[in-house]
Structure 1
Amino acid sequence: MKKINAIALIVLFLSSILSFGQQAPTSSKVKITGKVIEKTSKQPLEYATITLRLPNNPKAVTGGITNNKGEFSVEAAAGNYDITVEFISFKSTEFKGKTIDSNTNLGTIGLAEDAAQLNEVVVRAEKTTVEIKLDKKVFNVGNDLMVKGGTVSDVLGNIPSVSVDVEGNVSLRGNENVKILIDGRPSNAINIVEALRIIPADAIDKVEVITNPSARYDAEGGGGILNIVLKKGKNQGFNGTFIATGGIPDNNGLSGNVNYKTEKVSLFTTQGYSFRSNPGNMINETTYFNSNNSIRNYIVEPRDNKRYDKGYNGNFGIDIAIDKNTSWTNTINYRNSNGDHTDNVFQNYYTQARLFDYTINRTNQEDNHSNNIEYTTNFTKNFKKQGHKFTIDGSVSSNDDNTTAIVNASRSNSTSSIDNTINNQKQNRVLIQSDYVLPLGKGSQFEAGYRGDFSKLVTDYQVKNEGVINPNFTNVLEYKEKVNAVYTQYGFKKNKASVLLGLRYEDSNIEINQLATSDFNTKKYGNLFPSAFFTYEISDKSSTSISYSRRIQRPRGRMLNPFSNLSSNINIFVGNPDLDPSMTDAIDFGYIKRWSKLTLSTSLYYNKTTDVFQMARRESGNFVNGTPIIITSPINIATEFRTGFEFTLNYSPYKWWKLNSNFNFFQSDTKGDFVYTNFNNVVVTQKFNNNATSWFSRLTSKITLPAKIDWQTNLMYMGGQTNAQGKVLGNFSANLAFSKDVFKDKGTFALNVNDVFNGRKRIMETYLPGVLSSRAEMQWRVRQVTLSFTYRFNKAKNEREKQPKKMNEGGGGEMEYQG
């Protein structure tokens, strides 16, 4: 395994060196610039192509694509050219015999929609999988072969700066305090990790990674924001896509999206059904100590997980153009999942002399049903002045998650026992948002808005031992959250400098009520969240920036609930209803540079988080067959200082080869002490002062082989990290995928292998003096092979879906300050 790790690291290093070795074009060339817009709406067209050819020669000499503002800049030797400007499903514009002997601006070029082209399948220049901008990265899911037949969790695991551990926990640049949004709104899912495993990857258009959000965004998420944008086709006419998937272990599904658009009305729907098996395993080897640190006994606890999940995901929407400046969009989303999960745990007890004593077998059979329904609406009014607009967004959602489990425990030299658990959860959420954007003059803009987020979660948890209710694990927890927010920000651009200043205020009113014990807790607090962004365009190919923002992380769900599952009776997680939110101050220095074949983005960041959440393990005072029950709980006892450096490279050495690489190194310095009184009434102080460094790196290579077969490889290494009570070891993983277009490019077969070496595991070591030393190795899902078939009708393979501007989570108009 060490050899494999070394090879992966060498490949990542060489790819970075190779990328840096690219040189910028020579300064003797002239520059052709301009802007491409949609003729009717006047909106800029991103990824329109500009091609320069010599007269009477069909071979392209050079070319380029437009940026997010519709602007392009192409360098070429002085001469006479035929210049073509084109975009999929639009009529192209051509400048015949254009003499270019000095820097030339072609002005604003309007392209008109060509409905006839919708019936043709034309493969154009492929949109890059990763778009790098100064304030965010955009991951375009449709071009990634790795996620075919997968879920949102698989998609996030392939995104630069983002990592997903084997348990499904998402972190951004090594920080797990991440706010995950779906179409700019918080997910109504009670368990976000499980929700990400339900939504199929085929339903996703792109994912936006925002590491340092401005005041227009919700302040939640100390580590940043991930916005998952679902497909909502808006192409003219009737078109769609269907996908069938099969895999080993079971990974079967059918999905499709169909769109119909007229001049006044657009209808769109996405439907999908899946059946997945996720077999996994875990082993936990623990040495227990006496108070003098001598060995008491050993327990080896292997666990085999079998999970079967059936899921349905569907939406239906209508977009009405009231007039040419006013639109109203309504969407209904519905998700349903049913899971049958079995955890088979063997607790093998050994004496002090490492002699086998006895075995306890615990079988946890869990049945889960989840329903989520959401209605969303968006009203947008555009005024005469470009960029001047008013929007209202709203959503109402409800989520039911019901889980029942039977835990059967039998001892090899004794009798058996049966525990029953019931966990019924219901969450309702209402979200209201309004934004106003007013351009004040050339290069300046004012924004203001309101956001109200109101949710209620009721968790009814019950445990029965041999049919008798266990009051120690039975309770009804009611969580109510009301957050009202207002924000304003002002941005302007002067020469090459851009400034965006913002201020957000959030008023939080939170109730945490344990109804069975009549323990009521109310937390009220108001917070200001300033933000400031400064950008300087060094040239038309490079920019640098510095930004500051203040963020909050509120504890929710499992973190607060003091009643948890009993899959293990000697290692129990217990939530802490008295947790306070953590506050983060974030500073980010960014630099971006573009060459003809290479884009480099770097970032140096610093975060300070107070009242950071930490997981602490301690003895409960209770024993099972002489073995102490260990409790793990989240606590607010520390301040964390996080410093890191990151770079992302997009490199296309040839037309048939694309490379994306990402490297992140960070240092985490935690300061704090955990002081508590144990079951013997003794005050115990645990030092949580800890200084740890870690890193992760990812390399994605996509090659077009002969016969138009695409081959994609993903390599990733997650570095190890220490904490106050142990460490997590490093891990290497690899994925492979191949695809082939058929039926005149209307269909595509894709084969992918997830976790080629079957080694994606989380390995943790824990040491508590006078209590225990343990090593746990967990594999959530074994290696998986998936084959999928995609069929498109009236839709080009790489067609860019035109979508109206919607709220971007907090958001009014996007003032783009990228270079």
Structure 2
Amino acid sequence: MKHLLLILIATIIPSAIIFAQSTTISGIVIDEPSGQPIPYATIAIMSPTTNKILAGTTSKDDGSFNVTTDSSAFIIEVRFIGFITKKIETFDIIDGKINLGKILLSNTEHSLDQVQVTAEKSSVEFKLDKRVFNVGSDLTSSGMGAMDLLNNVPSVNVDIEGIISLRGNSGVQILINGKPSVLSDEGSNALGTISADMIESIEVITNPSAKYEAEGSAGIINIILKKEDKKAFNGSISLNTGYPNNHSIGVSLNQRTEKFNLFAQLGAGYRTRPTIRKTENINHITGSEIYGLGEESKSENFYNVILGTDIYLNDFNTITVSGNYMYEIEDEPTITTFSLENEGYLLSQYTRTGATSATNPKYQFDVQYAKQFKNHKDHNLLFSTTGNFFGKKQTSEYINENTLGFSAPDNQRIETDFYQSNYAFKLDYTNPITKKITIETGGIYELNNVGNEYSVLDQSSDVWALNTNLSNDFNFDQKVLGLYGTASYEAEKWGVKAGLRFENTDVQTLLATTNESNSMNYTNLFPSAHVSYKISKQYSLQAGYSKRIYRPRMWDLNPFFNIQNTYSVRKGNPELMPEFADSYEITGIFIKEKISLNASVYFLHTVDVIERVSFFEDDINTVTPTNIGTRDQLGIELNAKYSPNKWLTLSGDFNYGYFNRVGTFEDQVFDFNGDKWSSKLTAKIKLPADIEVELSGNQESRYATVQGVNSGFVYGNIGLRKKLWKGKGVINASVQDVFASRIRESIVDQPDYYLYNYGQRGRFFTIGFSYSFGKGEAMTYSGKRR
């Protein structure tokens, strides 16, 4: 142990001993047009043969710098954003010192324009095990939340209920900056607190390597948030308004020095999401028919604060500390008219008026230590610990008022006290042992704890009585231990990566009121393999395989009843098992100057598939997730981008999947075949006077489910942007769902009953203005959510 401690200290603490004769380089960096010093310019000492960085520093407030190198052969580069990089290859060494004097950097509009154009384009990067979609400044994303933005990403779809699917499969793991988060939890509805303008890129990983957690049978979507780290002081402020109500203000601040990088984002706003719903429950045995027509309008006041700092201990050791606090105040009025008929004759009618209020505190912290080893910039050790919490105190009251026929049902009230806390401890080590071979290893330990105490009360004769059949106290504890190792070989044409991941899962659920418990403990191995071959500069091929798991989420397991509509109830299933998937994929990539195209053929085999199944009894439809059989899906996906000239860019995405379902549940056979497809087309047009327009259209097909069918739909978005003062100011405007055609309909047609559900959100208008100060362009913040 003593020897191990000495080795760790020797690894983490950089050596201060210099064994070779060193050379000290000094100078002052000056802005040539103004003659003023440039603070925080980057000075890099580089190898003249490999361009590898040998040493480096940044200039001080007065533009001066000093840097030392042990190398005998080197060149010097001086860089700063918006200025032409200066390369110095000839100099005099006197007594081990080089004095460069004043180094003049010129500011060129041409180079600045190039930076702006690159930053504005949403481009795709193809890596060995993932695709990276750089959000850039998509015009139709103006005023969007993260949920809306995901709908613009190829391969990804978000339905009107907020269910995210990848290539038509809903078993998706959502990560924030590579880590699980309460912000990405479906049930917490928290992704909406992230605006599109806060997102740097979105990684779509259909075949993750063993380095990633095995969670997500359909794959992983990793949302990378922006973290401003420009030199000196920077910031931006933005204002947004929209209809229906979507009003917000956001501030982004950043201060970078030689030893610290401080960053902050502040946001507040108010928004509403009106929705129209229709339901039909028809009992073929008794002839009874129940029709529901209602409106709901969820309103939220929200506040969001992100604070963090990077502490540069030296050139090779960095500590990052960040925190995020959010607070929401919800108000959701609803009104639904229920009509009860038999054989087409109206028997009774009543209205159910609901009032829901809730407060939602959420917070998250992240502490990270990163060590970069001297021998290679990609040789690093990363340790991080993350903790987050989400709470909800909610009260709902439903008043039934009879308008025709016999009396209405009793009034009802729901009281909910919910909390969710997650903690993760993660260690990752990467070592490029040669120019072609890299190894990765590490592990993670996660602890998830959830509690939901809910009470349903019925009112009878002005007295509220607890409904013991619907009330309970649900507790959920999950612990996951994961260990992994990968090795990759990347040559000029060939690339190979293989890995293996071990995960042990321990789950405990408890219904405390009725003392019903359930335990699961399982250990699994998850292999992965990826191969790439570069045929030429324009053509390349990739192939991948991975084994994945989708663990039931708290909202799948929690038997809490949602009784907003007493004839269409949702509840969880505490006995739900995880689903497992084997994913295979081959992708061809073609990239030329004006066009890029990639085509993928994939096969996904999933067992113990989680399906949402309807159970119909006493004219009430109860939807519960259930494990049913296997699904085999064979699909093809096409993505293309074409820029015929400087003012027009066209991009499109098409995904088609044919699936075969085999399964039996409670003597009912669910064997059937079907297909599902989706397509997206976007046109981005540059107009004079720094005006840009973006038009996008989306279409999803009708597809079969285990009990019925879901409808297809077509909808379009329009976005416009005008840049002011060379990008310091930006005006954005967008219309989402221009024709109010994004309507979701689902039908369950069984021998004994028929169910119909309809949902529509309608069109949304947003306009915003942002202004930046310091270096760079405006970074807008809209605070939009789904």
Identify the TM-score tier after normalising by the shorter chain. 0.7 to 0.9
Partner of 1:457: 450
- CA deviations 1:642-679 (Å, max 9, x no partner) are 1111011121111111111111001121100111xxxx
Superposed CA RMSD in Å reads 2.5
SS at match of 2:427: strand
Partner of 2:425: 432
Q: 1:42/1:609 Cα in 2 relative to 1: closer, same or farther (>3 Å)?
A: farther
Q: 1:569/1:445 Cα in 2 relative to 1: closer, same or farther (>3 Å)?
A: same
Select which of 284, 297, 300 maps to 1:306: 297
Give the whole-Å Cα distance in 2 for the aligned partners of 1:500 and 1:205.
Answer: 26
Give the whole-Å Cα distance in 1 for the aligned partners of 2:487 and 2:174.
Answer: 26
Q: 1:797/1:410 Cα in 2 relative to 1: closer, same or farther (>3 Å)?
A: same
- CA deviations 1:155-180 (Å, max 9, x no partner) are 11111111111111111111111100
- CA deviations 1:414-456 (Å, max 9, x no partner) are 4453211012111111110001111221200111101011110
Give the whole-Å Cα distance in 1 for the aligned partners of 2:482 and 2:140.
Answer: 39
Q: Which amino acid aligns with 2:225?
A: L
Q: Does 1:362 align with 2:372?
A: no
Select which of 107, 112, 123 maps to 1:130: 123
Query: Structure 1 residue 541: deviation in Å?
Result: 2.2
Query: What are the residue-to-residue correspondences of 1:781-800 with 2, within 5 Å?
Result: 781-797=761-777
- CA deviations 1:455-483 (Å, max 9, x no partner) are 10001111000110001111111100100
Q: Does 1:253 align with 2:257?
A: no
Aligned residues of 1:115 and 1:236 also touching (Cα < 8 A): no
Query: Structure 1 residue 338: deviation in Å?
Result: 1.2
Q: Which amino acid aligns with 1:546?
A: A
Q: 1:302/1:553 Cα in 2 relative to 1: closer, same or farther (>3 Å)?
A: same
- CA deviations 1:477-535 (Å, max 9, x no partner) are 11001001100011112451111110000011110111111111110000000001111
SS at match of 2:190: helix
Give the whole-Å Cα distance in 2 for the aligned partners of 1:668 and 1:315.
Answer: 43
Give the whole-Å Cα distance in 2 for the aligned partners of 1:664 and 1:729.
Answer: 17
Give the whole-Å Cα distance in 1 for the aligned partners of 2:738 and 2:345.
Answer: 37
Q: Which amino acid aligns with 1:481?
A: Q
Q: Does 1:688 align with 2:681?
A: no
- CA deviations 1:123-180 (Å, max 9, x no partner) are 6323331314143332333411112222111111111111111111111111111100
Select which of 547, 550, 562 maps to 2:547: 550
Query: Structure 1 residue 113: deviation in Å?
Result: 12
Select which of 126, 142, 154 maps to 1:148: 142
Query: Structure 1 residue 205: deviation in Å?
Result: 1.9
Give the whole-Å Cα distance in 2 for the aligned partners of 1:703 and 1:86.
Answer: 33
Give the whole-Å Cα distance in 2 for the aligned partners of 1:367 and 1:145.
Answer: 34
Select which of 556, 570, 573 maps to 1:576: 573
SS at match of 2:116: coil
Aligned residues of 2:772 and 2:779 also touching (Cα < 8 A): no
Give the whole-Å Cα distance in 2 for the aligned partners of 1:351 and 1:367.
Answer: 36
Q: Does 1:336 align with 2:327?
A: yes
Query: Structure 1 residue 397: deviation in Å?
Result: 1.6
Aligned residues of 1:278 and 1:782 also touching (Cα < 8 A): no
Aligned residues of 1:91 and 1:113 also touching (Cα < 8 A): no
SS at match of 2:193: coil
Partner of 1:715: 697
Aligned residues of 1:130 and 1:650 also touching (Cα < 8 A): no
Query: What are the residue-to-residue correspondences of 1:363-512 with 2, within 5 Å?
Result: 363-386=353-376, 387-412=378-403, 413-416=405-408, 417-466=410-459, 467-512=464-509
Give the whole-Å Cα distance in 1 for the aligned partners of 2:238 and 2:206.
Answer: 33
SS at match of 1:166: coil
Query: Structure 1 residue 363: deviation in Å?
Result: 1.6
Q: 1:472/1:388 Cα in 2 relative to 1: closer, same or farther (>3 Å)?
A: same
Equivalent pairs, count: 686
Query: Structure 1 residue 115: deviation in Å?
Result: 11
Q: 1:382/1:154 Cα in 2 relative to 1: closer, same or farther (>3 Å)?
A: same
Q: Does 1:188 align with 2:188?
A: no
Query: Structure 1 residue 547: deviation in Å?
Result: 0.6
Select which of 592, 609, 631 maps to 2:622: 631
Aligned residues of 1:544 and 1:590 also touching (Cα < 8 A): yes
The percent of aligned pairs where both chains have the same amino acid is 30
Select which of 225, 231, 239 maps to 1:230: 225
Select which of 748, 751, 759 maps to 1:778: 759
- CA deviations 1:670-701 (Å, max 9, x no partner) are 100111xxxxxxxxx22211211010000111
Q: 1:744/1:124 Cα in 2 relative to 1: closer, same or farther (>3 Å)?
A: closer
Select which of 571, 582, 586 maps to 1:585: 582
Give the whole-Å Cα distance in 1 for the aligned partners of 2:188 and 2:712.
Answer: 22
Give the whole-Å Cα distance in 2 for the aligned partners of 1:730 and 1:338.
Answer: 34
Aligned residues of 1:121 and 1:795 also touching (Cα < 8 A): no
- CA deviations 1:296-344 (Å, max 9, x no partner) are 0322211111111111121100101101111111001111111101221
Moved more, 122-131 or 692-701: 122-131
Give the whole-Å Cα distance in 1 for the aligned partners of 2:622 and 2:657.
Answer: 30
Give the whole-Å Cα distance in 2 for the aligned partners of 1:479 and 1:638.
Answer: 26
SS at match of 1:593: strand
Give the whole-Å Cα distance in 1 for the aligned partners of 2:44 and 2:735.
Answer: 45
Aligned residues of 1:121 and 1:797 also touching (Cα < 8 A): no
SS at match of 1:40: strand
Aligned residues of 2:566 and 2:620 also touching (Cα < 8 A): yes
SS at match of 2:147: helix
Give the whole-Å Cα distance in 1 for the aligned partners of 2:493 and 2:452.
Answer: 54
Q: 1:342/1:715 Cα in 2 relative to 1: closer, same or farther (>3 Å)?
A: same
Q: 1:334/1:41 Cα in 2 relative to 1: closer, same or farther (>3 Å)?
A: farther
SS at match of 2:566: coil
Aligned residues of 1:163 and 1:172 also touching (Cα < 8 A): yes
Aligned residues of 2:389 and 2:420 also touching (Cα < 8 A): yes
Q: Which amino acid aligns with 1:216?
A: K
Moved more, 554-563 or 696-705: 554-563
Q: 1:645/1:382 Cα in 2 relative to 1: closer, same or farther (>3 Å)?
A: same
Give the whole-Å Cα distance in 1 for the aligned partners of 2:678 and 2:201.
Answer: 23
Select which of 259, 277, 286 maps to 2:281: 286
Q: Which amino acid aligns with 1:91?
A: I
Aligned residues of 1:656 and 1:704 also touching (Cα < 8 A): yes
Q: 1:773/1:259 Cα in 2 relative to 1: closer, same or farther (>3 Å)?
A: same
SS at match of 2:509: strand
Q: Which amino acid aligns with 2:116?
A: R
* Structure 2 segments unaligned to the other structure (5+ residues): 1-41, 48-76, 89-102, 781-786
TM-score normalised to structure 1 length = 0.80
Give the whole-Å Cα distance in 2 for the aligned partners of 1:655 and 1:577.
Answer: 56
SS at match of 2:469: helix
- CA deviations 1:692-712 (Å, max 9, x no partner) are 101000011110112221000
Query: What are the residue-to-residue correspondences of 1:720-731 with 2, within 5 Å?
Result: 720-731=702-713
Q: Which amino acid aligns with 1:364?
A: G
Give the whole-Å Cα distance in 2 for the aligned partners of 1:188 and 1:212.
Answer: 24
- CA deviations 1:388-409 (Å, max 9, x no partner) are 1111011122211222100112
Select which of 742, 756, 772 maps to 1:760: 742
Give the whole-Å Cα distance in 2 for the aligned partners of 1:85 and 1:733.
Answer: 50
Partner of 2:657: 666
Select which of 289, 306, 311 maps to 1:315: 306
- CA deviations 1:530-552 (Å, max 9, x no partner) are 00111111112221011110000
Query: What are the residue-to-residue correspondences of 1:693-704 with 2, within 5 Å?
Result: 693-704=675-686
Give the whole-Å Cα distance in 1 for the aligned partners of 2:271 and 2:139.
Answer: 19
Q: 1:431/1:114 Cα in 2 relative to 1: closer, same or farther (>3 Å)?
A: farther
SS at match of 1:154: helix
